[in-house]
Amino acid sequence: MSTPANDPGRRLIRSLSERSRGEGWEAPEGDLAKYRSRWRSALRFVLQRGVFRLVVRSAITPSTVVHRRVKTVRGPFVLVANHSSHTDAPMLAQGLPWAQARFLSTGVAADYFFRVWYRRFFVRALFNAFPIDRDGSRKNSGFSRRLLRSGVPILVFPEGGRQQTGRMADFKPGGAALAISVGVPVIPAAMVGAHEAMPKGRSWPVPGRPPVGVVFGEPMLAEEGESAVAFMGRIRERVQALYDENYETILGRPLPGDEESA
């Protein structure tokens, strides 16, 4: 016998697929509809996992680790990752299982990517991108929340910019606040080796096809009454743990600092 949708007992269900279906989402309308377009997702599959994957593999040696519960997520979610280089967004989009990645939307600077038609076409075709205001105009304020409510998962880099030194910065709580307000899970992900392969200031990875890995961890849900700051603190700890635990396997050398303690 199935549990009624309005039964309080549903709150105790910890299955991420059940949670997402239980919350539900609105049918996208107007400009939002393109973010769940099937023909656009088919084009993105060809570009991301065909053409662009060949470009990525020509420059770096990629690897992917995916926690088994990632595949149980249905519907919208917030993908949260550390931000090391321009390789991050394509690696995350390519590494996530397609059932979860097909509508994944990445926020990009509106003033740079959305004002010129060919840049707008490129980021929409490749990353299902949505605009983020950097000029204080708030023209696109609330767009990421509307996407989640329309069934579109989003990618968030909570450090606010690429790492300067390779060390993970503090995470801003906006992504956690979105997940809490809409009632969706967070998938934590760690980019490993991206800073070493393509530090800030370079327009192309260093020679020799350096190793770069993306690790998707077990999806997370906010606890009852947990604040966005506290939830993002837990998410950052998980991303840092994923990074530390997989560093040596992916890069073939000990994590800096471990050599001294060995």
pLDDT tens-digit profile of 17-34?
444 444 567 777 778 899
Which of 64, 31, 30, 76 lies closest to 175, judged by CA?
76
Assigned domain for 5 exists: no
Q: Residues 249, 221: contact at Cβ < 8 Å? A: no
Report DSSP state, residue 133: -
The Cα angle at residue 115 between residues 43 and 86, in degrees rounded to 5:
60
Q: Is the dihedral of CA 140, 31, 181, 243 positive or negative?
A: negative
Q: Which residues contact 90 (CB under 8 A, 6 or more apart)?
A: 48, 52, 56, 126, 127
Q: Hey, which of 102-111, 120-129, 166-175, 224-233 has the most confident mean pLDDT?
A: 224-233
Q: Quote the tokens at residue 104.
A: 């994944």
> Is residue 186 situated within a structural domain?
yes
- Among the residue ranges 8-12, 85-89, 138-142, 258-262, the one predicted with the least confidence is 8-12
The structural domain count of the chain equals: 1
User: What pairs with residue 62 in β-bridges?
Assistant: 212
Residue 262 lies in a domain: no
Residue 171: the pLDDT is 93
Contact at 8 Å (CB) between 188 and 234? no
Q: Among residues 191, 147, 130, 155, which one has the least CA distance to residue 80?
A: 155
pLDDT at 17: 45
Query: Does 6 map to a domain?
Result: no
In a 13 Å sphere around the CA of 173, the CA atoms on its Cβ side amount to 13
Average pLDDT over residues 178-192: 95
10: in domain: no
In a domain, 86, yes or no: yes
In a domain, 2, yes or no: no
186 phi/psi in degrees, rounded to 5:
-115, 135
3-state SS of 60-75?
CEEEEEECHHHHHCCC
Query: Distance (Å, rounded) from C-alpha 197 to C-alpha 189?
Result: 18
d(CA 211, CA 61): 5
b/e map of 36-52 (b: 16 or more CB within 10 Å)? beeebbeebeebbeeeb
Residues spanned by the domain of 194: 25-252
Considering the domain boundaries, does residue 258 fall inside one? no
Which amino acid is it at 86?
H
Q: What is the pTM of this model?
A: 0.86
Q: Helices marked H in 47-190 — which ranges?
A: 52-59, 88-95, 98-101, 110-113, 117-127, 143-149, 174-182
Residue 27's pLDDT is: 78
Q: What percent of the chain has pLDDT over 70?
A: 85
pLDDT at residue 122 tops 60: yes
